[in-house]
Structure 1
């Protein structure tokens, strides 16, 4: 009977004395970065659990929480928050909800005025004096190695470009390279057996094309675009090609034109001689260039 009476009195007290929430803001005007304190207290819990936002997440975004401590026993709950604001202006701590059992309690809102107390001309002192550090060679390398490697790579790239412009093109367009390449083309033409098969038209078409390309590369004459008569006139006027070589080119090019238009039908001996004469002309071309260089020097 006494036990029932105790339980009944407890329930009556719980209803008569409900939970009491109180909140307190230490300062409503603070300077930029100044620490302020906000406290929430709930009494008469009677063993009920309090549920609220997690630690360091109770206040809004602009409030930088530096400390958030929670103390609770069977009859009371207390939460103390230390914070600072690093932006000038007016900011509001809104109503904050605390759930006690099935009941939701709310704090009153607070408005805080954050001001900048610094004045023009104020001396700004470092919080901590600068510390001198003695750097070794490896420390400097770690600091500047990427700049050094980038500079080396840039210099190497410039050297490669200069070398290519200065020597690369000259090597590719040198008389020896042009001569060797043309001799290989003439040898390939011979292996096609046009002469043995009597295919004189294909033979002269390829022979003239090889010769025109060689004259263009070796003598820097527009042989690849000029008609035969115009090319012969340019060769005679230019005087770069020797008379002997001019005669070979003139005879074979004119015969090639006659063959292409079916005005003449050369025999095997003539085709073999023309191939041999063009091959000899290609080999003699270096002497033409040597003579031309001597003439320029004079």
Structure 2
């Protein structure tokens, strides 16, 4: 116990124990009397003691002439630890408590037998108990499965939409329009014109009719179209004539004029536009 009288203020501190067991709670009390209305300032709540001291409770009681601060703390390491001088500002003056040394010991002895308070008891779980234990995991799994299904359906729909006849038709018509803008017809560049026209047409037949036109030679493609019957005779004739003419142009065996090139471009456009009717007929024939 320390008491100091300075200008009528008395600062005192008291530590209830200097030896503590691991985790045991100690109490430090700081008292100031004779304040005569002066204010007291110190470290904030739960921050008065140094690092190793775990503050459990920090309470302050203030009256016009008296001040009391009670710190309950515990230490969870063995050894000797010091509570240093703690400063308190009373009015304009600073005062200090005396330091304390606290020894923390482990009271458990090697070989001590630890007895359970009561024996473990087996509890039989019912279906309701298992539901309460695992319901959130099951619900989370169901949500994940639902999300996977929705994503799968969305991707499937988007892919199917991308491969739909209407989309294929519009895409090919745009490609044919871009071919026209290159002005191969006006320049008389029949070779470049027919190379691109045949390439666009082969790609369209492959995607729209599921016929491997992109890898078949012209004669083989014509034979497959006749056997397959997916393309109407009218459209089949247009494809056959233009593809054969394209081969002749490629090997410089014919030299079509602008009118012939424009006619072939228009015929392929009409073929692409009529393709939807071919697919409708094919679906009715196969019962799809």
Shift in alpha-carbon separation, 1:186–1:107, aligned structure 2, 3 A: closer
Change (3 A) 1:38 1:89: farther
Aligned residues: 234
Note if 1:225 corresponds to 2:225: no
TM-score by length of 1: 0.56
Offset of residue 204 of structure 1: 1.0
Quote the residue 1:27 is aligned against: 17
Map of 1:279 onto structure 2: 269
Equivalent residue in structure 2 for 1:251, among 225, 238, 241: 241
Give the 3-state SS of the residue equivalent to 1:94 in structure 2. Answer: strand
Contact 1:30 1:115 in 2 (8 A): no
> Equivalent residue for 2:82?
94
The verdict on how the C-alpha distance between 1:92 and 1:214 changes in structure 2, with shifts beyond 3 A counting, is same
Query: Alpha carbons of 1:97 and 1:205: their partners in 2 closer, same or farther (altered >3 Å)?
Result: same
Stretches of structure 1 that go unaligned for 5 or more consecutive residues are: 1-21, 41-52, 70-78, 100-104, 123-150
Please give the residue correspondences for 1:95-110 in structure 2 after superposition, counting only pairs within 5 Å. 96=84, 109-110=101-102
* Cα contact 1:63–1:83 (8 A) shared by 2: no
- Determine if contact 1:194/1:200 at 8 Å carries over to the other structure: yes
Tell me the equivalent position of 2:196.
206
| CA gap 1:92/1:63 in 2 versus in 1, 3 angstroms | farther
Which stretches in structure 2 are left out of the alignment for 5+ residues? 1-11, 32-41, 62-66, 88-96, 109-113, 119-141
Q: How does 1:169-180 map to 2 (within 5 A)?
A: 169-180=159-170
The one of 41, 46, 58 equivalent to 1:66 is 58
* Alpha-carbon distance in structure 1 between the residues aligned to 2:217 and 2:49: 92
Structure 2: distance between partners of 1:176 and 1:296: 20
Q: Summarize the Cα distance change of 1:24–1:91 in structure 2 as closer, same or farther, 3 Å threshold.
A: farther
**Shift of the alpha carbon at 1:205?**
1.6
**Cα distance in structure 1, aligned partners of 2:225 and 2:267:** 18
Aligned ranges 1:143-162 → 2 under 5 Å:
159=150, 162=153
- The alpha-carbon deviation at position 282 of structure 1 amounts to 2.1
Q: Could you say what secondary structure the match of 2:74 adopts?
A: coil
Q: Which runs of 4+ in 1 moved over 6 A?
A: 55-58, 154-158
| Superposed counterparts of 1:112-131, under 5 Å | 112-113=104-105, 120-121=116-117
For the residue of structure 2 that corresponds to 1:111, the secondary structure is strand
Q: Counterparts of 2:172 and 2:17 in 1: how far apart (Å)?
A: 96
How far 1:245 sits from its partner (Å)? 2.5
Deviation at 1:207, TM superposition (A): 1.4
Shift of 1:202: 2.0
Say which one has the larger Rg: 1
Q: CA RMSD in A?
A: 4.9
Task: Give the 3-state SS of the residue equivalent to 2:103 in structure 1.
Answer: strand
The alpha-carbon deviation at position 220 of structure 1 amounts to 1.5
Partners of 1:205 and 1:119 lie apart in 2 by: 92
Q: 2-side partners of 1:286 and 1:98: how far apart?
A: 92
Distance 1:160 1:108 in 2: 68
